[in-house]
């Protein structure tokens, strides 16, 4: 009997792994740096509406693909686990950081994805920060909402009400369970906040931690009526690098379900130029990533901690 159970478990894992979408995201290029001590995963949320009907786009308040002017990302995070068992870090990467994009010159970080997709975004980050990325995972609008619904919604507590018609969001203050469309609106909204995108990335980290804890709860993992739809939704919704597998995703989920140190990559003020207003990648930003590239947790002087 044990052999049968183990065999079914292995077959299920391999089946889920085969359903993952794959892309050559982490390509080699001249001058690519060596490995960063520890493990670094780049997580990307895109505004892709692939597979969504017009009705679903309306339900999720996404607008159409043509409205967005092409596939973009406003959600970029690094999951960094230093060697030696130090605390995992969930690092939000502000989309407005000014970086040098290979072949395109200086522009905001999220422009790298628009110009060249995952490979150019990963290369830009590696060359700008000195950090070598080991794994890549990406999810679009519909896939994100589907995973939230597959786990039965996610509990979130907010201090102030949030209303954003563009994101289809109208939340009261307090603790509540967000279904897929509400969750998508929560991680997208930024216009009602004084710090706009910087507050949005804090909300994204808060929600991601809550989602991982709910996903890995015994009530979901040990119940086949939730576990099977969850695995099915996740494997179909997530795109990974060609060298990645379902067990790499499971390891990231486990780390994020614990107590990661959640931070926003620092910047050195705001400025404006030909690309509009941007966040300055200065000595503080460089110092932060120098620590990560060398396998150390950045000191408290570099950390903008939040939820």
Query: Per the structure block, which two tokens stand in for 57?
Result: 């786009």
Q: What number of other Cβ atoms are within 10 A of residue 270's Cβ?
A: 11
Lowest-confidence segment of 97-101, 143-147, 180-184 by average pLDDT:
143-147
What DSSP assignment string belongs to 161-205?
A: -EEEGGGTEEE-SEEEEE-HHHHHHHHH--TTSTTTHHHHHHHHH
- Confidence band, pLDDT 50/70/90 cuts, at residue 193: low
Rounded Cα distance, 112 and 128, in Å: 12
pTM of this prediction exceeds 0.85: no
Query: Per the structure block, which two tokens stand in for 155?
Result: 């509990």
Number of H helices, E strands in the chain: 11, 16
- 106/185: higher pLDDT: 106
pLDDT (tens digit, 9 = 90+) per residue, 28-79?
999 998 889 999 999 998 875 454 444 544 444 444 444 444 577 878 999 9
Rounded Cα distance, 307 and 294, in Å: 26
> Can you give the pLDDT at residue 2?
36
Q: To which residue do tokens 């040990």 refer?
A: 222
> Can you give the pLDDT at residue 76?
92
- 215/191: higher pLDDT: 215
To 10 degrees, what angle do helices 246-257 and 2-19 make?
100
> Can you give the pLDDT at residue 64?
45
What mean pLDDT value characterizes the chain?
81
Q: How much of the chain, in percent, has pLDDT values that exceed 90?
A: 35
pLDDT (tens digit, 9 = 90+) per residue, 84-126?
767 899 999 999 999 999 999 999 999 999 999 999 999 999 9
């Amino acid at each position: 009997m044990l052999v049968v159970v183990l065999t079914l478990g292995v077959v299920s894992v391999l089946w889920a792994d085969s359903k993952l979408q794959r892309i050559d995201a982490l390509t080699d290029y001249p001058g690519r740096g060596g490995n960063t001590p520890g493990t670094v995963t780049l997580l990307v949320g895109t505004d892709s509406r692939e597979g969504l009907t017009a009705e679903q786009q309306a339900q999720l308040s996404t607008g159409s693909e043509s409205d967005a002017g092409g596939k973009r990302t406003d959600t970029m995070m690094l999951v960094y686990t230093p060697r030696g068992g130090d605390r995992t870090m969930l690092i939000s990467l502000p989309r407005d950081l000014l970086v040098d994009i290979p072949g395109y010159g200086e522009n905001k970080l999220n422009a790298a994805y628009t110009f060249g997709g995952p490979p150019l975004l990963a290369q830009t980050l590696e060359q700008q920060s000195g950090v070598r990325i080991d794994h890549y995972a990406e999810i679009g609008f519909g896939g994100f909402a589907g995973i939230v619904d597959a786990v039965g919604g996610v509990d979130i507590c907010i201090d102030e009400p949030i209303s954003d018609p563009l994101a289809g969001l109208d939340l009261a203050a307090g603790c509540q369970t967000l279904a897929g469309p509400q969750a998508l609106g929560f991680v997208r909204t930024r216009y009602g906040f004084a710090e706009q995108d910087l507050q949005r990335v804090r909300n994204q980290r808060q929600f991601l931690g809550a989602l991982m804890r709910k996903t890995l709860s015994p009530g979901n993992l040990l119940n086949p009526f939730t576990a099977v739809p969850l695995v099915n939704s996740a494997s179909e919704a997530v795109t990974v690098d060609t060298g990645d597998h379902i067990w790499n995703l499971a390891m990231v989920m486990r780390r994020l379900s614990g107590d990661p140190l959640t931070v926003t990559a620092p910047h050195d003020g705001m400025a404006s130029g030909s690309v509009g207003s941007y966040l300055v990648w200065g000595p503080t930003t460089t110092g932060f990533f120098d620590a990560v590239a060398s396998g150390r947790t950045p000191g408290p002087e570099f950390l903008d901690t939040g939820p």
